[in-house]
Amino acid sequence: MSLRVTMTRKMHNAALGLLMKKPLQGLLLPLGRPLNPEKWIFVVGCYDSGTTLLATILGHLPGFGGLPNEGQFLTDMLPYPETHGWPRMFCQCLDKLGMNGAGEAEAERIRRQWSIWYPKDARYLVEKSITGMIRMEFLQKHFPNAYFIHIIRDGYAVAKGIQRNANMTRWGTPYDEYPIEMCARQWLVADDVATEQAGRLEHYLPVYYEDFAENTGKSMRRIMEFLGIESNGAGAESGTECPDVGSEVWRVHGMRSTIVNMNDREYRLLSEQDVEIIGEVAREGLERHGYAPPEPGVREPLETGGVA
């Protein structure tokens, strides 16, 4: 990577970080515009489940538009757990993250603040916030034609991913590293939150990370069918050209890679005790989705219960 590209990316990230400050977001509100897309597409799921990957792919399709960061960070209306000292751990402050009492005025403010970042010609607007799964009913009520895609990944891999990726120095959390049981509980709570709301949502699609990673084309066709958008087979609308997203190189969280199932990387880092603890804490959700405990040591990615 050239020095110019590196510096440009650093300047972009610094500018984005400044514009994410909530006081400045309020000042930028007059620059916003009304948003009336044909569809709102909300990608939800637990941390380390592939939500960023899917939102990135969708946001790059013709006719679609995405945000440069999670929507919760680009408005002053949505609370997030980091400000309460819980990075990647919303289960510890769930009662502080809802939208109780919020209505259309708050939703319009969110839309106008997001509009600064969305491309003006996009017909389908994609938003991904981990805490969005807590607020799906609010989003359905105030964002017309809302569609929810819920990414589900093996709780064993997710728990380890949360423990490994949580930024424990920035937000003043009381832990140097989360205990694995907390990470397992976060996965279970996230799954319970989504399961509890799913039956009340008009448009809700569960997608297993393992299926998406191992057969991206089939999963994308299923997603486009769910969205009611006729696909050319590569994930784009008919009549448009779109690369095979499964063979493309995507940049997610600073890493560039084609789409592969990364569960095995997390399994390798689990101890026998980790596996036992996760299985005990998250048993109900693991059994719900057919996830079996991985064996310690080097192993192949697990088979899952498939797409529900």
CATH of the domain at 184: 3.40.50.300
CA-CA distances (angstroms) from residue 308 to 54, 149, 204, 227? 18, 13, 12, 17
Instruction: Give 273 or 174, the one with higher predicted confidence.
Output: 273
Q: How many domains does the chain have?
A: 1
Q: How far apart are the first and last CA of the chain?
A: 41
Q: What is the pLDDT of residue 19?
A: 65
182 lies in some domain: yes
Instruction: Give 260 or 127, the one with higher predicted confidence.
Output: 127
pLDDT bin (cut points 50, 70, 90) of residue 234 is very low
Distance CA 245, CA 239 (A): 17
Helix, coil or strand: residue 292: coil
305 lies in some domain: no
Report DSSP state, residue 20: T
Q: What is the pLDDT of residue 303?
A: 43
73 lies in some domain: yes
Distance CA 269, CA 284 (A): 23
Distance CA 251, CA 132 (A): 22
Mean model confidence pLDDT for the chain: 86
Report DSSP state, residue 143: S
299 lies in some domain: no
Within the chain, residue ranges assigned H as helices are 3-19, 22-28, 51-60, 104-115, 136-142, 155-165, 180-198, 209-214, 216-227, 263-268, 272-281, 283-289
pLDDT bin (cut points 50, 70, 90) of residue 17 is low
67 lies in some domain: yes
Q: What is the pLDDT of residue 18?
A: 65
Tokens of 264: 């095995």
pLDDT exceeds cutoff 80 at 153: yes
pLDDT exceeds cutoff 80 at 243: no
pLDDT bin (cut points 50, 70, 90) of residue 9 is low
Q: What is the pLDDT of residue 295?
A: 79
Rounded to 10°, the helix 272-281/155-165 angle is 110
pLDDT exceeds cutoff 50 at 72: yes
Q: What average pLDDT does this structure show over 200-222?
A: 96
Residues 6+ apart with CB under 8 A from 224: 230, 231, 235
21 lies in some domain: no
206 lies in some domain: yes
128 lies in some domain: yes
Q: What average pLDDT does this structure show over 182-187?
A: 98
Domain hosting residue 171, numbered range: 32-289
Q: Would you say 88 and 34 are in contact if contact means Cβ atoms under 8 Å apart?
A: no
Instruction: Give 6 or 79, the one with higher predicted confidence.
Output: 79
The DSSP annotation for 30-92 comes to: GG------SEEEEEEE-TTSSHHHHHHHHHHSTTEE--SS-GGGG-SS---GGGGT-TT-GGG
Q: Would you say 168 and 182 are in contact if contact means Cβ atoms under 8 Å apart?
A: no
pLDDT exceeds cutoff 70 at 166: yes
Q: What is the pLDDT of residue 308?
A: 28
CA-CA distances (angstroms) from residue 10 to 6, 38, 303? 6, 34, 40
Q: What is the pLDDT of residue 2?
A: 42
Tokens of 38: 């044909």
Tokens of 75: 């408005």
Q: What is the pLDDT of residue 258?
A: 74
pLDDT exceeds cutoff 60 at 8: no
Q: What average pLDDT does this structure show over 47-67?
A: 96
**Sheet (strand 39-45) strand order:** 64-65, 124-128, 39-45, 146-152, 204-208
Distance CA 242, CA 238 (A): 10
